[in-house]
Amino acid sequence: MLTIDILTIFPGMFSPILNASILKRAQDNKKVCIRIHDLRDYTLDKHRKVDDRPFGGGPGMVLMPEPIFKAVKKIKGRRKVRVLMTCPGGITFHQRMAKRWAQEKNILIICGHYEGVDERVRQKLVDTSVSIGDYVLTGGELPAMILVDAIVRLVPGVLGKEESLYDESFEQGRLEYPHYTRPADFQGLKVPRILLSGHHRQIQQWRARQAETRTRRQRPDLL
């Protein structure tokens, strides 16, 4: 089973996401174990201080190294763990990475906050710094949830046959074909006739063409 530990100063942000839909089912079915750790539990002073002003001046607060080092050591124990840190300057997250990490046994995600994290954390503790895109968020909690969601659904057995991965966007280096459901005619907008024909081969060919055209138009960089 894959174990994912998340280190955060806002542990309360995770439960609505982790306790719904496929992520909940994956945990219930023991495909993944997700544990949220409050960084403040690893602080050394009575105010449970996790951050301090940056050396050299400037705005904002920086997460201090001590509590993070302490937490990571305790959480890892003797296990071999892939340590990820959310960071706008990290490598941009991609389906390929989700696929690779879905094969791991243990993952730990460190969530930054405020102005960021003391650089010595990256130097000593982090295997990969991951960005979810070129924009700045207030904290690493949403990025961590995105990583978890994308990774967990690729863990073998998490999705049923019904939710097959094969045709999905980015799997074959292209986007997925368009979907339609009932009704066949919605306010005059008709479902492509081929999809109602029952000719499986022709439907497959149509879908492949659609995927190709769509990718060419919307994401030529994938081809």
Nearer to ligand SAH, 132 or 195 (CB): 132
- In whole angstroms, the minimum distance from the beta carbon of 109 to ligand SAH comes to 10
Nearer to ligand SAH, 126 or 159 (CB): 126
Nearer to ligand SAH, 126 or 175 (CB): 126
Strand bridging mode 116-117 / 62-63: parallel
Nearer to ligand SAH, 31 or 40 (CB): 40
Q: Which residues of the chain form beta strands (DSSP E)?
A: 2-8, 32-38, 51-52, 62-63, 82-92, 106-110, 116-117, 128-131, 185-186, 189-190
- In whole angstroms, the minimum distance from the beta carbon of 111 to ligand SAH comes to 6
Residues 65/71/72/77 CA torsion (nearest 10 deg): 150
- In whole angstroms, the minimum distance from the beta carbon of 172 to ligand SAH comes to 26
Residue of minimal CB distance from ligand SAH?
112
Q: What Å distances lie between residue 126 and 38, 82, 84, 90, 142, CA to CA?
A: 18, 8, 6, 11, 19
- With b meaning 16 or more CB within 10 Å and e meaning fewer, what string describes 138-153? ebbbebbbbbbebbbb
Nearer to ligand SAH, 137 or 208 (CB): 137
Helix, strand, coil % over all residues of the chain, rounded to 5: 40, 20, 40
- In whole angstroms, the minimum distance from the beta carbon of 77 to ligand SAH comes to 24
Q: Which residues bind ligand SAH (CB under 6 A)?
A: 86-89, 111-113, 115-117, 131-133, 135-137, 139-140, 143
- In whole angstroms, the minimum distance from the beta carbon of 99 to ligand SAH comes to 19
